Structure 1
Amino acid sequence: MSTFKALLLDMDGVLFHGDRALPGADEFLQAISHLPYCFITNNPIRSPAMLVEHFVRLGLPRVDESRFVTSGQATGEWLARQQPDFGFYAVGAAGLHQTLSQYGNYDPETADFVVVGEGEGLDFDTLTIGINLILKQGARLVCTNPDHNVDASIDGLHRVLPGGGALVAPFAVATGQTPVFIGKPHPLLYEMAMQRLGVAAPDCVMVGDRPDTDIAGAAALQMATALVRTGRFGRGEKLPSGLEPDWDCESLTALLDRWRDACPETFGTKTKAG
């Protein structure tokens, strides 16, 4: 904890499940509010502005848009590096379209890139348009994140939804083109967040719920890692071979307690029950 300077946090499965905040999320955010931190997420469905309002609806603290780095933003950044003033055809939720429009131009006829993200949008027509852009116009196939599936809470019930890796599969099969994946565990999301905070990887701790994305990607950058088992990777599950987070906790509350024990001058003291 002596080199602790900044925090990167996943959101889905860490702070909330869909439309329900997880226990301890509010207290955790209050405890780190004086530190440099960013939220980094593989979920491209909501833009940063949408995420600010989502936090408020969940009863979490209102934070500035600049705190959020989404896979939609990282995808737009990557596309702009490949080709300035690019044209795109996106298949996914409205937030993805809004985010990509800040970097390039929507062009369903001669797009340079077909971008697939999470959320509603995939159907026979959008698949057909995307396939033809790739096969006939030479568009490259890009996916915001490699997750095969993601957790959600809909009307209070747990649901498993298709992730970017599943939604891009029909395009890959139909065209024979291997998609370029942008989100975690690939480095761009982490790098964008660190650049905003002005810190290097050894000065950061990544807090996430998925060993295969959050933890693996951070560890590859020599970043400290904290796994919370409130998402898909539950209590008692065995860690994948070769992955050993610096902290492995059942919840944000348990993680905060450990940090308060180790560094009370930074995180305060434990809240007494009763």
Structure 2
Amino acid sequence: MRPGYWRLSQRRAPSGAHPSTRIASITARKGEPRHRSIRGLLLDMDGVLYHGDAPLPGALEFLQRIAGLPHVFVTNNPRRTPEEVAARLAAMGLPRPEPSLILTSAIATAERLALEKPGFSWFAIGEGGLEAELSRLGERDPEAADFVVVGEGPGIDFERLTLAINLVLQRGARLVVTNPDTSVDDTHDGRHRVLPGGGALVAPIAVACGVEPLVIGKPEPALFEMACRRLGLAPAHCVMIGDRPDTDIAGALRLGMRAALVRTGRFRPDEDWPEALPRPQWDLPDLPGLLHALEPLLPTSDQRPPDPR
């Protein structure tokens, strides 16, 4: 994890921007093929489709419109399994996707570690979704783990921190974090709150050990690349839809995808674009606006999805 991640992942651009800098409609990066048809979509969820346990305006209509277009859901949240995520969407009244269409940073982490060391052993700090994915491809071994994996959620305490630190220093375990977000939004008893993300939870171990963790989730390429493989499409044929400039947008553009930001999550309509980050092809206040902007590029109801080749 580069030090800049810890800053960018919690960065909030100053509010009170001049009206001319506030985006209220479709924008395109100069020279970009905005009008190239869309063959596949990658969708972030929290802040794009819902807040807490409530769908955002236009989420149902958007998902209904793209039903015939290849798409996958990608999230940096490692806490839930794909089956749990699908059930959560259905409980909100949104279409229930097949679990195979849901890619989490926990899935990407497990598959990345299996490529590096088949049959790997691990010790994890995080909730059930992370441990479920690691168990699918590796074996838990708190005594001599190959990897110390940090996710999100309860479970970090002094004893587990000490164990993780000594696995890295004494056993040579590699430190891994599912995602670099230093803070994430949450709803508890109907009230908004901020929770520490993977980037914050891995920091004590990284500092104590003097090592840089391997980062898996957005904006790193692993999750994006896995999603494109799942769709059978090259990145250039896909559009990433997200709500965070530092993870969703920056990572997608770096990989050669097109990107669309909706300002219904962490990044709000009155905020200036962070100068250090590239701009997306589309920057809209919400999903209804984005759907209107993308409509000419989406297949009609009587069209089959384009051949991905």
- TM-score by length of structure 1 reads 0.94
Match of 2:278 in 1: 243
Which one of 251, 254, 258 corresponds to residue 289 of structure 2? 254
* Shift in CA distance, 267/253, structure 1 to aligned 2, threshold 3 Å: farther
The amino acid across from 2:167 in the alignment is L
2:37 touches 2:298 (CA, 8 Å); kept in 1? no
Give, in angstroms, the shift of residue 95 of structure 1: 1.0
Which one of 124, 140, 143 corresponds to residue 158 of structure 2? 124
CA distance in structure 2 between the aligned counterparts of 1:137 and 1:267, rounded to whole angstroms = 57
SS at match of 1:110: coil
Does residue 94 of structure 1 match 2:128?
A: yes
Match of 1:213 in 2: 247
CA distance in structure 2 between the aligned counterparts of 1:264 and 1:63, rounded to whole angstroms = 19
Instruction: Give % identity.
Output: 56
1:259 touches 1:267 (CA, 8 Å); kept in 2? no
The amino acid across from 2:96 in the alignment is R
Which one of 133, 143, 146 corresponds to residue 180 of structure 2? 146
For structure 2, the 5+ residue unaligned runs are 1-34, 303-309
2:37 touches 2:297 (CA, 8 Å); kept in 1? no
- TM-score by length of structure 2 reads 0.84
Which one of 261, 266, 269 corresponds to residue 300 of structure 2? 266
1:26 touches 1:61 (CA, 8 Å); kept in 2? yes
CA distance in structure 1 between the aligned counterparts of 2:298 and 2:111, rounded to whole angstroms = 38
RMSD between superposed Cα atoms in Å: 1.4
The amino acid across from 1:91 in the alignment is I
1:130-170: CA deviations, max 9, x gaps? 11111111111000000111111222211111110000011
SS at match of 2:251: helix
Give, in angstroms, the shift of residue 36 of structure 1: 0.1
Give, in angstroms, the shift of residue 237 of structure 1: 0.9
1:148-227 → structure 2 map (5 Å cutoff): 148-227=182-261
Match of 1:230 in 2: 264
CA distance in structure 1 between the aligned counterparts of 2:120 and 2:36, rounded to whole angstroms = 44
Q: Which runs of 4+ in 1 moved over 6 A?
A: none
Match of 2:109 in 1: 75
CA distance in structure 2 between the aligned counterparts of 1:29 and 1:103, rounded to whole angstroms = 32
CA distance in structure 1 between the aligned counterparts of 2:299 and 2:115, rounded to whole angstroms = 42
Give, in angstroms, the shift of residue 265 of structure 1: 5.5
The aligned length equals: 267
CA distance in structure 1 between the aligned counterparts of 2:266 and 2:126, rounded to whole angstroms = 22
Match of 1:271 in 2: none
Which one of 33, 43, 46 corresponds to residue 12 of structure 1? 46
1:5 touches 1:36 (CA, 8 Å); kept in 2? yes
2:38 touches 2:298 (CA, 8 Å); kept in 1? no
Greater RCO, 1 or 2 (C-alpha within 8 Å, sep 6+): 2
The amino acid across from 1:58 in the alignment is M
Does residue 30 of structure 1 match 2:64?
A: yes
Match of 2:7 in 1: none
The amino acid across from 2:199 in the alignment is G
1:171-194: CA deviations, max 9, x gaps? 111111211110011111111011
The amino acid across from 2:270 in the alignment is G
The amino acid across from 1:147 in the alignment is D
For structure 1, the 5+ residue unaligned runs are 269-274
